[in-house]
Amino acid sequence: EVQLVQSGAELKKSGESVTISCKGSGYSFNNYYIGWVRQVPGKGLEWMGLIFPGDSDTTYSPTFQGRVTLSVDKSFSTAYLHWNNLQASDTALYFCARADGFRDVFDYWGQGTLVTVSS
Amino acid sequence: DIVLTQSPGTLSLSPGERAILSCRASQSVPSNSLAWFQQKPGQAPRLLIYGASLRAAGTPQRFSGSGSGTDFTLFISRLEPEDYGVFYCQQYGDSVFTFGPGTKVDVK
């Protein structure tokens, strides 16, 4: 069974750093893209970027370029989303999702990680 | 970036009725790479339709998608009580993927 399991909620202060994770299982982790999607509470979905675990090739949405860093650790079948210098506007629910190719649909999703940033 | 617009914003229907959800793109979606997701409160989005008209595994047959270019539609033939939530369209054919703002469906 394909599963993406994300790390738990984070409560941080403005200016701090945080990394959240997404562990894949039940499939060949290295061969599927992992994407990240932001959802501000009560709002819609925003695509943040994609990473290919096989070679760590990464594409960012211009909105998030320079604000976040995507990475993977193949040995742990885990993808990461990292922020330096968090802002209150980063408060949101963050989902990871799997795609079969670079321009392919997200077919499996993690349960989401809530990041709350206080000013 | 391709901007997606969805209508209506909210749909309130009774079980057994037919729902029609629209998604319009600001420019042609490459390869009709358009997906529909359903999101219920407190849950992750669930893939329903991809490639504009292909049902994802586990998607009931009452859900169908159509369209090409800039105009896409999700049909729910006969609403079931569990078909509530916010339905999002997403294009994944451009270099920057984008989501529509969503249509909220209430099944009363």
Report yes or no: B3 at the A interface, CB cutoff 8 Å: no
User: Which chain B positions have a beta carbon within 8 Å of A99's beta carbon?
Assistant: 92
Pick out chain B residues at pLDDT < 50. Answer: none
- What's the whole-number mean pLDDT along residues A105-113? 97
Query: Taking a C-beta distance cutoff of 8 angstroms, is the pair A36, A20 a contact?
Result: no
Report yes or no: B40 at the A interface, CB cutoff 8 Å: no
Give the whole-number percent of chain A exceeding pLDDT 90. Answer: 95
Which of B86, B92, B104 is best to mutate for the A interface (most A CBs within 10 A)? Answer: B92
Q: What pLDDT, on the 0 to 100 scale, is given for residue A58?
A: 96
- What's the whole-number mean pLDDT along residues A29-49? 96
Q: What pLDDT, on the 0 to 100 scale, is given for residue A106?
A: 95
Q: What pLDDT, on the 0 to 100 scale, is given for residue A101?
A: 84
Q: What pLDDT, on the 0 to 100 scale, is given for residue A111?
A: 98
Query: Taking a C-beta distance cutoff of 8 angstroms, is the pair B32, B52 a contact?
Result: yes
